[in-house]
Structure 1
């Protein structure tokens, strides 16, 4: 699905590709900074204190979410300046890309980089001999992880649209809603290996975020019906 988004909506436009790569870079920098802080905290603590280590893991995840959203805001500011520059350089005084399109492409960039790192972690776990679930754990680990990676890619796309819309219209409650949803989805992964506790809420939030982003982008029930009926 993520590859389809890129091929059909981004790949043919050089400007969109640049925005996507820059968005992926912003997400990567946020991950590196949060990982560095978590690594320092772990090294400075007692590794034998299991409750403390679990607390640091929870802190690391939540801090990473907040840092990702902070970098999303910084990226919005950068793109807003870029639009002003494009308008100044254009002959007709119009930007070749709208803020809504930028929000979508930036969200896909965040999602693709997030999915790429999730896939790398899965492949690292899959290296070497072994049988998944041999010690009584779930044998669906890789399948459920793939579904979780997919939902996060789509969520980042929808969150990008919602977040940019909130920034553009100064609707801070929309920005807060994105941060809360991101925290909720990331926090639900602590229910694993009870995968129902993480996958079901995540997909429900994805459906809600998709509908919300669709409406904010100018969509309507009538347009959706025409699309489904190929009219």
Structure 2
């Protein structure tokens, strides 16, 4: 049973991200490099936020009973803000790299567009975030122990996997929207991305009240996916053409 829980939760949490990597990233070495670098930037934000949280713990009064909850809230929101700062730093780095590649290219064009970089960088952020949030949970799912034996929720592992899936996709969508906002100097878009990131982080603090956190997070994921689709150049005509093409291919086969 523990193996079924392990593989089931792993496929839920990382299956879509793995599919995106295989079909859209793996065949292009430049995209792979951008994804790995994006994951590294997320790691840097985590390292710095962990250092600040450690200093805050040491500087606080350990006798205060409300301290652990307060430090948790502080750490979560500070980490979110730091992730967005590093996302902007990564955008600036990629923009400089794009200008350099265009300068040495024969046709003065870059090998990858900003929208493609935004998507791959966001996926890198999301994959690394999901790995850090889920790896210990997957390890615990192998046992020994019985979930819920002391009255806790029996749906802990599945809800953790669903939350990891949502946040992985959200980071991908946020990456597209954040880079688009930086390109067009639409600071309100960046503000919306940061605000929704803070909101999702706040909703996660409601756990184990999963019915209060998961449905809003998935509603936000759906809205961000639609927004990112149209922001990256998608349209209803594209969807209609795709459906028509698939239907013709199915009929011809």
After TM superposition, the score normalised by the length of structure 1 is: 0.96
Comparing 118-127 with 38-47, greater Cα deviation is found at 118-127
Q: SS at 2:205's partner residue?
A: helix
Distance 2:30 2:189 in 1: 27
- Does residue 94 of structure 1 match 2:109? yes
- Does residue 17 of structure 1 match 2:20? no
> 1:130 and 1:222, CA in 2 relative to 1: closer, same or farther beyond 3 A?
same
* Shift in Å, 1:53: 1.9
Distance 1:10 1:42 in 2: 40
Q: Match of 1:114? A: 129
After TM superposition, the score normalised by the length of structure 2 is: 0.88
1:153 to 168, 171, 176: 168
1:192-207 to structure 2, matched below 5 A, reads: 192-207=207-222
Comparing 122-131 with 213-222, greater Cα deviation is found at 122-131
Q: SS at 1:50's partner residue?
A: coil
1:208 to 223, 229, 233: 223
1:218-229 to structure 2, matched below 5 A, reads: 218-229=233-244
Q: Match of 1:62? A: 77
Larger radius of gyration: 2
1:188 to 203, 216, 228: 203
* Shift in Å, 1:169: 0.3
Q: Match of 1:170? A: 185
Residue ranges of structure 1 left out of the alignment (5+ in a row): none
How many pairs were matched up? 231
* Shift in Å, 1:223: 1.5
Residue ranges of structure 2 left out of the alignment (5+ in a row): 1-15, 248-253
Q: Which has the higher contact order (CA 8 A, sep 6+)?
A: 2
Q: Match of 2:151? A: 136
Distance 2:62 2:204 in 1: 22
Distance 2:46 2:194 in 1: 16
Distance 1:131 1:48 in 2: 33
Q: Match of 2:251? A: none
Structure 1 vs Structure 2 CA RMSD: 1.2
Distance 1:127 1:41 in 2: 34
- Does residue 42 of structure 1 match 2:62? no
